[in-house]
Each structure stands twice: as C-alpha cells, then as structure tokens.
Amino acid sequence: MNSNRSKPHGLLAEFHTAADIFEAAMRCRDAGFTQWDVYTPFPIHGMDEAMGLRKSPVGWFTFCGGFTGFFTGMTMIWYMNKFDYPLVVGGKPLFTPLYAFPVSYEMTILLSAFGTLFGMFFLNQLPKFYNPLFKNERFKKSTDDRFFLCIEATDPKFGTDVTRTFLTEKCHAAVVELVED
Amino acid sequence: MASSGKSAAVKAPEPPAELVRESLVLNNRSLGWITNAIAGVCEKPMPMWWWPAFIVSVGGMLTMFSLIAYLVSTGVGVWGLNHPAAWAWDITNFVFWIGIGHAGTLISAVLFLLRQKWRTSVNRAAEAMTIFAVACAGIFPVFHTGRVWFALLPGYLIPAPNANAIWPQFRSPLLWDVFAVSTYGTVSLLFWYVGLIPDLATLRDRSKGVMRRFFYGLFSLGWTGSNRHWSNYEKAYLLLAGLSTPLVLSVHSIVSFDFAVSVVPGWHTTIFPPYFVAGAIFSGFGMVLTLLIPLRSLFKLEDIVTLRHVDLMCKVLLATGSIVGYAYGMEFFIAWYGGSPYELYAFKNRAFGPYWWSYWAMISCNVISPHFFWFKKLRTSVVFVWIVSIFVNIGMWFERFVIIVTSLHRDYLPSSWGYFTPSWVDIMTFAGSFGLFMTLFLLFIRFLPVIAISEVKGVTPQADPHHPLGGAKGHH
C-alpha cells in the first residue's frame, strides 16, 4: 500500500471501558463533529443521547409493511372468494372481514417484519462488505471487548493534527490513522 | 427515601443485602471471557460425544425421509389412518412440534418486552429450537394430505387458482393455519438472524480459517458495531419482538381453531385458544430445559446459564402447568354444565373409555409433575428438573393425542365408532422427526454461537458506563 496515493479515511481512537467511550462521545458531540461514530461490541445504554442521534425511523418501515400486509390480505381474499370466482361453501357468506381476519392478521405481521428487517438494512446501508475500518487489526477487538471512536476525514471540522490532539489529550485515547485506497 | 440530611457528602446508600440482585453472569467475568467462552464452543473441535450423537440423529432423519417417500409412493394408509380417525399421530405430532416452538418466541420476544434481562443467556438456543421445531412440525400436515402434489399445487394451499380457476377457500381454518405457521416460521427465522448478526461479526473477527472467515463475513453483512447502526438495530429488534408477541399468541390460537371451529364433541369449545397457548409454552419450556441443562454442563457455560435461569424457567413451567391443569378441569366442568350429552360423553370417554391410558398419562405428566416446582430445592436440582422436563414433553404429546384421537374415534354415530392403532410407519416417522430436530440442533452448536454474545455482554455491569466496573469514576 502506497501511503502517498492513499487518501486518509479518518482517525481511530481506542478505549478500554464503556465509561471512557461514553465520555469521549459526549466530547465529540460538544466539539461539533458530524462525520463520526463509535464502535462497540454491544449497544451502550444512553449512547444515542451522548452522540446526539435522532430517534431511529425504522418504525415507519414497519408501519408501511404492516399496512400493506393487512390490505393485501383483505383484498386478496375478497377478490378470490367473492369477486373472481364466488363459490358458496357451507352456506357461509362469500366475504366478510371476520373470516378474512386471521389471514390478514398474519400478513400484517409478516410484511411488518420484512419492513422492519429491510428498513433496518436500508438505514444502516447493509450489507457493506468493504469498510476501511476492517483494515485495522486492532479494530477486530471492537466485536470483543474494546471500544472505538472514529472521526472521519470528511468531517468539515477534521484536521489530522488538530483532531489527533483532541483525541489524545481531551479523550485520553490511543489513536491511529486510517486510510482508504 | 428518607434522608438523614446531615452531611452534604453522603454516599448513595447501599441497598440491603437481600435486595441486591444476583448478577446475571457469575464470578464477575470480563467481556473478553464471555467472548472466549461462547465463541470457543463453535471454534474448537466438537467434543467426542458430538459425533455419535450426530450420526444417530442423521440416521433418524434419513429414516424419516425414507418413510415419507414410502408414504408418498404408497398412500396415507401406511400411517394407520382410517375412518373414523383420519387425523391421529400426524396432527398430534404437528401440534406437538409447533407448540414446542412457542417457548423460544416467548423467551425471545415476550421476555424482551418485559425487560427480563435473564433471557439473554437462553434466547439464542431457544429461538434455534423454535425454528427447528417449526421445520419438524411443517412436515406432518404437508404429508398427511397423501398426494402432496395436490396440496402444494395452486388452488389448495397456495393462493393461486387451480386448473378449474377455483381459488383456495379462505373460510377454512386449515388455510388460516397455513398462513399462521408459515408466517411464524419466517418471522422466527428473521428474528433469529437479526440477533445473530453482531455475533457472526464477532466470529468473523476471530476466525482463522478462510472458509469460516468467508461465511461468517458473508452472513454478518459487514457489521461493525457502529452506534449509528446499533440505534436502528435496537429499534428493529424491539419492533420484531413487538410483532412476534401477538404472532406467537395467534399461531397456537389458529392451530386450536382447526379443532374448535368444527362441530366434533370434545373439539368445539371456546377455551381452546388460551388453553392451547398455555400448553404450548408449557411444552416449549420443557424442551428448552431438556436441551439447555445438558448443554450448559457439557460446554462449561454454568456461569452464563446459571441455576437462577433454571429456577426461573421452572417457575414458568409451574405457572403454565397450572393453567393447563385448570383448563383440563374446566373442560370437564363445561362438558357437564353445557348440558350436551355428546360433549359429556366425549369427556367421560376420554377418561374412562378405551383410551383411558393416554388420558391418565397426560394427567400424571402435566398436572402432577409441575407442582414439584413449588419448592426451590427441586427447582435448582438440575438432574431432577431435567427428568421432570422429559415428563412434560411426554405429557404434552399425550395431550394432543387425547384431544385428537379420543374425540374422533367416537362421535355422534355409534355405528361409525372405531379404534385407532398406529402403524410402525407412524411410530418411526415420529421418532425420525426427533432425528431431524437433533441434527439441526447439533449443527447449530457446531457452527453458531449458542448464546447471544453481544446481548449477554450488554447486561453485565462492565457494559454500563455509569457503573464502577464499566469504568465510571466515583464522582457522582
């Protein structure tokens, strides 16, 4: 890898405890960074507030899925059993929402679940198999017992030296530089 | 809380010893220890017992598949089904397996919504059990149709018109069941997979081999543990839990509609949906204990799946077992109080007719055995709990057999009464379904983390940024 041609991705700071990264996240938020993230082996309670994140909008995808599911179910049954080929069975009505309910209910849940899953993937931009973070060997500990914070070079407030000083002196972290190639 | 109000530098009072909760992971294990302990199970070669267990299970699975081929090529008669009992072991096995699945969803979804943090140690294995049990369950209703190609062709189960342009008939609970069970299988799989993503990333980051790195890398989708991702992930997980809860209640309710919507004495009762759901949770927790008690000791996971977990699951067995016992009593009461001679006969026939042995097997396993768990000493004796859990499994199989076969074999017309006896194919197909279940479960142990690594870490004090063990300086 030729470092002259490599473009910087950002600075990666490593922390040993949940409290340290929590404090560092609050400092980053207060310093006004925007293109940054923390990487932890499990979700840390209160980290969304510490980072100043807005509430996750996944619920809207769930709602759209559920809405589609319920109306697909009802419409499908009405179309099949009353409209396209009406057939009296056991003297029961050709269509009522009552007998169509169990199937529509299951369709609501099925499509809500798909909406939730794919909404989450969409918002998180997953799958994403290339990530400059993966080039750092230390970063493998982020799924084990270490906590990382990365300020990306695209952040308008980013300056390699200033940001490095910020991370080492204000946040007391070991810092390495990440590159993209 | 009353404050002494004297000194400004009062420390936060320590709660009295009896109110301090036992920590979920014993011996104050570190985050790294948790990763090593759980990921180690599927990274190291499997212990010696695994191979014989796997070979026996695969043998059972292949037996089942061969017998299904025999059934498809010959006819459903090989199962000993005949009038009046056209449903017998097949539907018993279906309800048995689908019921077992319910405990997994209860642990993963309902206990999550109720903020029962102890669930984190058992939910992964319980959800795996759910999916494998649903896979076993699905086989029986599909193949009891005999000529399966008709059932699977458009016009019967799949919402598409048949050759005469006739659509499936949505007034039938049997079709509701198709939608309920397939939705249940799909959503359980999605929920399980979402939970697995962070742990697959852990395995990816630890893996040495090329194959392992490729597959764990592929299925972990490039997960980094980014908090922006966790934020959406946790919301999605919460929503999936919120969706699975009404789902799991609806599935066994709809399974019970297969019976309750008919007019057969012994089936046509309004108590069926809640009674079936309680029974399903009861049987499922029985199976969770049957699987987890050996698993925790064979893989030395006693610090993560602790005696407290066993104790709590026994309490669930006690509660749901009591509901089931109440339902048995209430069925009898309503049969008498309802004043229908056919209904009353059906229940007398259950207890004292030709299938009396199955009724009393059910009563002794399901009504008597959970009541040992009033005593903490018995709830925390793992060998005893394991034996009782086997009885719960047996009892719940008999419950379904009693409901299905004793109701069908004698209904309104004495001239069409009969006695169902299983054929050897019935017995071996059911035994073989345990082979399929265990094969899948053993493969799960071999390749996937049996405990949710990131979730267990999340409930340790080390994960709390405001706890001294999480690194908090004592300045508040």
Residue written as tokens 């769930």? A62
Query: How high is the mean pLDDT of chain A?
Result: 88
Examine the pLDDT at B318 and tell me if it is beyond 90. Answer: yes
Q: Does B171 touch chain A (CB under 8 A)?
A: yes
Average pLDDT, stretch B439-457? Answer: 92
**What pLDDT is attached to residue B459?**
87
CA distance A15 to chain B (A): 11
Which residues are CB-contacts of B342 (< 8 A; sequence separation ≥ 6)? B265, B411, B412
Cβ neighbours, 10 Å, residue B230: 28
**What pLDDT is attached to residue A1?**
44
Which of A18, A42, A116 has its CB closest to that of B240? Answer: A116
Q: Please list every residue in chain B whose beta carbon sits closer than 8 Å to the beta carbon of residue A43.
A: 227, 230-231, 233-234, 454, 458
Query: Model pTM?
Result: 0.90
Average pLDDT, stretch B236-252? Answer: 92
Residue B107 tokens read as: 């642990």
Average pLDDT, stretch B55-80? Answer: 93
Examine the pLDDT at B320 and tell me if it is beyond 60. Answer: yes
Which residues are CB-contacts of B390 (< 8 A; sequence separation ≥ 6)? B286, B290
Chain A residue whose CA is closest to B227: A38
CA distance A77 to chain B (A): 7
Cβ-defined contact of B232 to A107 (cutoff 8 Å)? no
Specify the amino acid at residue B458.
G
Q: Between helices B307-337 and B341-352, what is the axis angle to 10°?
A: 130
Residue A39 tokens read as: 């990487």
Q: Please list every residue in chain A whose beta carbon sits closer than 8 Å to the beta carbon of residue B457.
A: 41-42, 145
**What does the pLDDT look like over B81-99, one tens digit per residue?**
888 888 999 999 999 999 9
Phi-psi region of A47 (alpha: psi -120 to 50; beta: other; left: phi over 0): alpha
**What pLDDT is attached to residue B11?**
61
Catalogue all structural domains in chain A, each as residue range(s) with its CATH number. Answer: 7-54+126-180 (3.30.70), 58-124 (no CATH)
Q: How many CB pairs under 8 A join A and B?
A: 217
**What pLDDT is attached to residue B104?**
85
Residue written as tokens 């759910």? B130
Q: Give A7's pLDDT tier (boundaries 50, 70, 90).
A: confident
Tell me how far CA of residue B330 lies from CA of B20, B220, B263, B407, in angstroms.
Answer: 41, 49, 19, 17
Q: Give B219's pLDDT tier (boundaries 50, 70, 90).
A: very high
Chain B residue whose CA is closest to A103: B176
* Chain B interface test: which of A134, A144, A171 (most B C-beta within 10 Å): A144
* Chain B interface test: which of A21, A63, A70, A106 (most B C-beta within 10 Å): A106
Q: Does B191 touch chain A (CB under 8 A)?
A: yes
Strands A174-180 and A7-15: antiparallel
**What does the pLDDT look like over B359-397, one tens digit per residue?**
999 999 999 999 999 999 999 999 999 999 999 999 999
Q: Give B334's pLDDT tier (boundaries 50, 70, 90).
A: very high
Q: Please list every residue in chain A whose beta carbon sits closer than 8 Å to the beta carbon of residue B31.
A: 41, 144-145
